[in-house]
Structure 1
Amino acid sequence: MKIKIITDSNCELSKEYIIENHVHVIPFYFQLGGIEYKDNFGSEVSYKEFYNRLRNGEMSTTTQITPFIFEEIFNEYINEGYDVIYLGFSSALSETFNCAQIARNSILSRNSDANITVFDTRSASSGQGLIVFKVIEMLNMGRTKEEIIDNLKILRMNLNSWFIVDNLEHLKRGGRISATNAAFGKIMEIKPILKLDYEGKIVASDKVRGRKKSIKALFDKFENNAFDNEIQTVFIHHADCLKDAESLKMMITRCNKVKEVIINEMGPIIGSHTGPGSIAIAFLGNQK
C-alpha cells in the first residue's frame, strides 16, 4: 500500500527537501500589515523581509488550518489509493491538530475503508521537522505504516526540542510571559531557555544572562541529553540569525561526532510568536 506523508508548514523543512521526498506541506496563513499571506517557503513574503518588519514594530498574527482544508487534502490522497499519515503541529499550541481529527472523522463516517492516521508530534519548528525527517527515513527503508506509527511513539518520547528568543516582547504578546517579567528580562538581559515538554507545551527550563550564554545553553542541552551521537541528525532552526545558528552548529560538531547538523530557517508562523533572533534545536535524547 502506498503511504503519503502530510505535514504543515510549521515543520519548516526546506523546499528542496520537501519536493525531493514528495511530502505534502499544508500551509498556515499569517497577517502582516493588514494583508493575509500564505506560509509557503517565503514565496509571498521572504523570511528576511518578515523579520525586518517585526524588528520595525509591525505585528503578525496567525490562523489555524481549517477542517475543510484537511478534509479536501486527505480525500485527494485517499481517492488515489494512499494510506495517509499526517504529522501535526503540537495540539497544546494550536487547535489545528483537532481540526485534522475532525476532518479524519468526517471522512471515516462516509468511507470506513479510508486509512488515515493523524499524529500529534507535540512539537514545532525543528522538533516537528526532525520527526518528519525520521519518518521519511523509515519510509525509504521500506517500513510498513504500522511500523512507522510504532516508532513514532518512541521518537516523540525521545525528542528534545529546545529554543531561545532574543526579545521577550513577542512571548509577552502571545501571553507566554507577563508584561512585568518581559520588562525585567529586557533590563537585565535575561534569556529564558525554553523547551516543549512531553505534552507539547512551552515551559521555561533555565535562565541565563546575555545572548552568547543562551546559545551556549542550547549546546549544553545537546551535550547533556543526546544519545547515540554517531547516528544523530540534529536540526537547528533560526529566525534570521544564521551566524548564530552556524555558531551553535560549530559548537556541536567540534565536540561531538554526529551524523549531520541541518540548519533551516524558522518560518513566519513560529516567528510571529518568538520574534527575530530565535533559535531552536532538536535532537533525540534521554529527556526533554
Structure 2
Amino acid sequence: MEMSYYREHSVHLLGMTYTLNGMEYDSASEKNLPIEEFYRQLREGGESKTAQVSLDKATSAFEKLVEEGYDVFHLAFSSALSGTYQSCTVAANDVMERHPEAKIIVVDSLAASMGQGLMLNYAVTLKEQGKSLEELTAIIEAEKLRFCHNFTVDDLHFLHRGGRVSKMTAIMGTALGIKPTLHVDDEGRLINVGKVRGRKQSLNWLVDKMGERIGSHKNEVVYVSHGDCEDDAKYVADLVKKHFGIKNVVIGYIGPVIGTHSGPGTVALFFVGDTRDI
C-alpha cells in the first residue's frame, strides 16, 4: 500500500527490516530503497534477508502512541511467518503495565502482503464508521479467515532458498516450466497447494480459485500484488473484472520483506470469500 494511504487515514506503520547486499533498510521508511531497484538487484543475484520487528522497536512505538493519548489497535503480520506478532504482544503488555490506563490490542492477522493490507483497509473503514476499539477487534477476529490469499511464483529459486521446495524440485520445475500455486491457510502459513505448467495457466489458476471460494460474498475491492511484473498483474485484474464484475481492483508491488522470499515474477490475488480452504 502507498505511504499516502497511511498518512490519509492516520495509520502508524511498524515496518520490518531487511538487508540487501549488506545494506539494511526499513520497509516502513519513505527513504526505503525504491522497489524497482530492490527487484533489479534480486534479479542480478543480490542476497536479501529479513528480520522481524524487535521487542524494543515495538515497545517504543506503542509507548509513544500511548503517551500521546491514543488507544492502539495493532494488526500484526501472520504469526506463522514471523515472530513479529509475539514481539508486539509482549511489548503491548509491557507498556500497559507501565500505563494502566492504556488500551493496546494486538491481533494476529494470519495474513501477509496485500492480504494484510486488505484486512487493514477493512479495519480502517470500521474505525471511520465509529466502531469502538473492542467492536473493531471483535469483527476482525470473526472475519479474518475470510481474507483469501492466492499466489503463484515465476522463479522456484527463491522458494528453495526459503525452504519451501527442494533443490531438485526447483531445478526440475524450472526446466519443465512448472509454476507452483500457493495460498495462506487458516493458520497463516504459506502452503504449496499444487502446480501448473506455464505462466498463463498459473495466472488463470488465481482467478479460478477465487471463483471457487468467493461464494456469495460481494467484494467492493480486490487487491492484486506483483513482484515487478505489472503486465501479469494487469492480466489477472482484467480477468477479475470480467468474471466477477468487480470494478475496483487495486494493483501494487509486493514489498521487499515478502519479495525476499517470493522473488521477482510473483503474482498474488487477495479477496474476501466464504473460506480460505482449497
| TM-score under structure 1 length normalisation | 0.92
Q: How many Å separate the matches in 1 of 2:273 and 2:238?
A: 19
Q: Which runs of 5+ in 1 are unaligned?
A: 1-12
* SS in structure 2 of the partner of residue 112 of structure 1: coil
Confirm or deny that 1:148 pairs with 2:122. Answer: no
Partner AA of 1:99 in structure 2? S
1:51-90 alignment, distance < 5 Å: 51-90=39-78
* SS in structure 1 of the partner of residue 208 of structure 2: helix
How has the CA–CA distance of structure 1 residues 34 and 231 changed in structure 2, closer, same or farther, with 3 Å as cutoff? Answer: closer
| Match in the other structure for 1:281 | 269
Partner AA of 1:75 in structure 2? E
| Match in the other structure for 2:226 | 238
- Contact kept, 8 Å, 1:191 with 1:207, in 2: the verdict is yes
Q: How many Å separate the matches in 1 of 2:67 and 2:119?
A: 26
Q: How many Å separate the matches in 2 of 1:40 and 1:153?
A: 25
Q: Which runs of 5+ in 2 are unaligned?
A: none
1:85-100 alignment, distance < 5 Å: 85-100=73-88
Q: How many Å separate the matches in 2 of 1:120 and 1:46?
A: 28
Confirm or deny that 1:43 pairs with 2:31. Answer: yes
**Structure 1 residues 257-276: Cα deviation after superposition (integer angstroms, max 9, x where no partner):** 22521111111100000000
Confirm or deny that 1:222 pairs with 2:205. Answer: no
Confirm or deny that 1:119 pairs with 2:123. Answer: no
| Match in the other structure for 1:183 | 171
How far did residue 108 of structure 1 move?
2.3
Determine what percentage of the aligned residue pairs are the same residue.
Answer: 35
| Match in the other structure for 2:184 | 196
- Contact kept, 8 Å, 2:153 with 2:262, in 1: the verdict is yes
Q: How many Å separate the matches in 2 of 1:109 and 1:141?
A: 30
Partner AA of 1:218 in structure 2? L
Considering only aligned residues, what root-mean-square deviation do their CA atoms show, in Å? 1.4
Q: 1:272 aligns with which of 249, 257, 260?
A: 260
Q: How many Å separate the matches in 2 of 1:201 and 1:208?
A: 21
- Contact kept, 8 Å, 1:67 with 1:100, in 2: the verdict is yes
Q: How many Å separate the matches in 2 of 1:122 and 1:65?
A: 16
Which stretch of structure 1 is more off in the superposition, 124-133 or 259-268? 259-268
How has the CA–CA distance of structure 1 residues 56 and 41 changed in structure 2, closer, same or farther, with 3 Å as cutoff? Answer: same
- Contact kept, 8 Å, 2:123 with 2:136, in 1: the verdict is yes
Q: How many Å separate the matches in 2 of 1:213 and 1:55?
A: 23
- Contact kept, 8 Å, 2:219 with 2:272, in 1: the verdict is no
- Contact kept, 8 Å, 1:190 with 1:208, in 2: the verdict is yes
**Structure 1 residues 26-82: Cα deviation after superposition (integer angstroms, max 9, x where no partner):** 121111111112214663311111111111111111111111111111111111221
Aligned length: 276
**Structure 1 residues 104-144: Cα deviation after superposition (integer angstroms, max 9, x where no partner):** 12112222321000001011102101110000111111111
* SS in structure 2 of the partner of residue 82 of structure 1: coil
**Structure 1 residues 134-174: Cα deviation after superposition (integer angstroms, max 9, x where no partner):** 00111111111121111101221211111111101101111
- Contact kept, 8 Å, 2:224 with 2:267, in 1: the verdict is yes
How far did residue 283 of structure 1 move?
0.7
Q: How many Å separate the matches in 2 of 1:227 and 1:134?
A: 19
How has the CA–CA distance of structure 1 residues 189 and 213 changed in structure 2, closer, same or farther, with 3 Å as cutoff? Answer: same
How has the CA–CA distance of structure 1 residues 248 and 67 changed in structure 2, closer, same or farther, with 3 Å as cutoff? Answer: same
Confirm or deny that 1:139 pairs with 2:163. Answer: no
Partner AA of 1:38 in structure 2? D
**Structure 1 residues 226-249: Cα deviation after superposition (integer angstroms, max 9, x where no partner):** 144544311111111111111100
| TM-score under structure 2 length normalisation | 0.95
